[in-house]
Amino acid sequence: MRNFATLLILSVVATVTVRAQSPEVHASQTARQALIEMFSLKTSGTFVKHLPAATLNALEKAGALKTLQQYSMLTSQFHSTGNPVETFDTGSVLLATTDPKTGQKVEIVVEKDSLQGDDDNIELSFRTYKDQQPQRTPFMPRLTFAMKMESGVWKLNEILVSVRVPLADPDFLKSITDGIKSRTATPPQPQIQLTQNQPTQTQPAPSQPMTLNRGFDTSIQAAMRSILTAEIAYSATYRAVGYTCTLSDLDGFGGGAPNEHQAMLIPSGLASGKRFGYDFTLSGCTATPATSFQLVAAPRGNNFERRAFCADQSGAIRYSADGNTATCLASGLPAQ
């Protein structure tokens, strides 16, 4: 029972953290208004009020009801950041919040609201904006809240978490095909020259590090964009944590529902931190929740004929021609 209670708490905390606009339950309250009210910080007890009776009985028998107080503590951490939060009883947007420091805006959008008698399934998705421009987030999760009327009150009966994998998305396809090409590319063959009355000599092909780098650059940058996109989705979903500096937290393979230690946002191969002869590393998550991070891609084996790449929460990718990530972070040039 304690495992069940813990899973329930983590699931709801990882979804949305909002303030209620209508704190009192009344006969005409919609399932959407009940969902908003459930995550209110202004009125105590509203979270428990919207849990099914069977769930409350099970948690009470297990002695886990007091643990729900931790939820209020976690959501308070998010509101303490000072970011403005708006909620909407009607319309396509349920919640909107903007980080004034980075200009990043996150919207929680109502994709479907299927009311049938005493049941209402509310499907939510996420949208992110940077400088008022929509950001491509191919691995953004979707949430469906199954609300059910019980004794005149809408209760949260079920939570469904799904991750969309856009097989036709150009950026997604490009990252896959570039990765396949880099692994199957045939290395240049040595040139063999035969001269009469002379032994066979092997002449190596002239080195072309810049041409080879250009071919690998595309794959490295595509991998970095996947990680940067995943960080945005992760921070929007797990607001008490913010950005993560542990690549495995973004891992895209595992059993059960996504969680803050396995968010299922990037492929497991990329989450290992070793791809295309590069080491990918996250750092700089100093605050709680973390509001910044640094991502670097260093050529493995001190191969300074290849570029080093770096980026941060701004999403801009830079490079240094000397293959040194420290140089990239200090004075890197914008990657093309």
> Is the same domain home to 144 and 177?
no
What confidence score (pLDDT) does residue 19 get?
A: 36
Asked if residue 58 and residue 42 are part of one domain, the reply reads yes
Kindly tell me if the per-residue pLDDT of 155 is higher than 80: yes
Beta strand residue intervals within 99-150, DSSP E: 104-116, 119-130, 133-134, 141-150
Domain that holds residue 141: 2-163
Same domain, 8 and 123: yes
Mean pLDDT of the chain: 74
Query: Across the strands, what pairs with 332?
Result: none
Quick one: average pLDDT of 34-51? Answer: 71
Q: Give a yes or no: residue 203 inside a domain.
A: no
Joined tokens for residue 144: 């469906």
Residues 145 and 76 reside in one and the same domain: yes
- Position 95 scores a pLDDT of 82
Q: Are 101 and 84 in contact (CB under 8 A)?
A: no
- Residue 211: other Cβ atoms inside 10 A: 9
Tell me, yes or no, whether 197 lies in a domain.
no
**Final residue of a domain: which of 100, 132, 163?**
163
Domain-located, residue 104: yes
The answer to whether residue 326 sits within a structural domain is yes
* pLDDT tens by residue, 167-205: 766 666 666 676 566 545 444 444 434 444 444 444 444
Q: Is residue 191 part of a domain?
A: no
Question: Whole-angstrom Cα distance, residue 113 to residue 116?
Answer: 10
143 shares a domain with 48:
yes
Q: How far apart are CA 223 and CA 220, in angstroms?
A: 5
- Do residues 126 and 256 share a domain? no
Q: Is residue 199 part of a domain?
A: no
Looking at per-residue confidence, does 219 or 255 come out higher? 219
Which candidate, 247, 251, 285, places its Cα nearest to that of 265?
A: 251
Length of the chain: 336
Of these ranges, 42-51, 89-98, 159-168, 219-228, the one predicted with the greatest mean pLDDT is 219-228
Residue 327 has what pLDDT? 93
| pLDDT > 70? residue 122 | yes
Last residue of a domain, one of 163, 195, 220: 163
Whether pLDDT at 326 is above 90 = yes
- Based on the domain organization, do 22 and 102 belong to the same domain? yes
CA distances from 61 to 53, 55, 58, 150 (A): 12, 10, 5, 21
- For 59-90, write each residue's pLDDT tens digit: 778 776 665 544 444 444 445 455 677 888 89
pLDDT at site 228: 94
Strands 333-334 and 318-320: antiparallel
pLDDT tens-digit map of 200-249 = 444 444 333 333 455 568 889 999 999 999 999 999 999 999 999 999 99
CA distances (Å), 328 to each of 136, 204, 231, 324, 331, in order?
25, 32, 20, 7, 5
List, for residues 101-115, the tens digit of each pLDDT value: 777 788 888 999 999
Question: Above 70 in pLDDT, residue 291?
Answer: yes
Task: Please give the tally of structural domains in the chain.
Answer: 2
136: which DSSP letter? Answer: P
Same domain, residue pair 139 and 175: no
* Pick from 80, 9, 65, 83: nearest CA to 39: 9
Question: Residue 18: what pLDDT?
Answer: 36
| pLDDT band (50, 70, 90) for residue 25 | very low
| Region 281-300 average pLDDT | 93
Let me know whether 216 and 132 are in one domain. no
Domain membership flag for residue 302: yes
Q: Is residue 192 assigned to a domain?
A: no
Mean pLDDT of 20-48: 65
Q: Token pair of 87, please?
A: 């909620």
- From 163, 195, 228, the end of a domain falls on 163
Assess whether 30 and 178 both reside in one domain. Answer: no
116: left (phi > 0), else alpha (psi -120 to 50), else beta?
beta
Q: Is pLDDT above 80 for 336?
A: no
The CA distance from 203 to 191, in Å, is 5
Q: The tokens of 252 are what?
A: 């895209």
- If asked whether residues 148 and 178 sit together in one domain, one would say no
Q: What average pLDDT does range 34-55 have in this prediction?
A: 74
pTM exceeding the 0.85 threshold for the entire prediction: no
Q: How many helices (H) and strands (E) does the chain have?
A: 9, 15
Do 157 and 74 lie in a common domain?
yes
Q: What is the pLDDT of residue 187?
A: 46
Report the relative pairing of strands 294-299 and 278-283 from DSSP bridges: antiparallel
- 131 phi, psi to nearest 5 deg: 55, 45
Residue 133 pLDDT level (bands cut at 50, 70, 90):
confident
Question: Can you read off the two tokens belonging to residue 34?
Answer: 């009940």
CATH assignment at residue 322: 3.30.540
In this prediction, residue 124 has a pLDDT band, given cuts at 50, 70 and 90, of confident
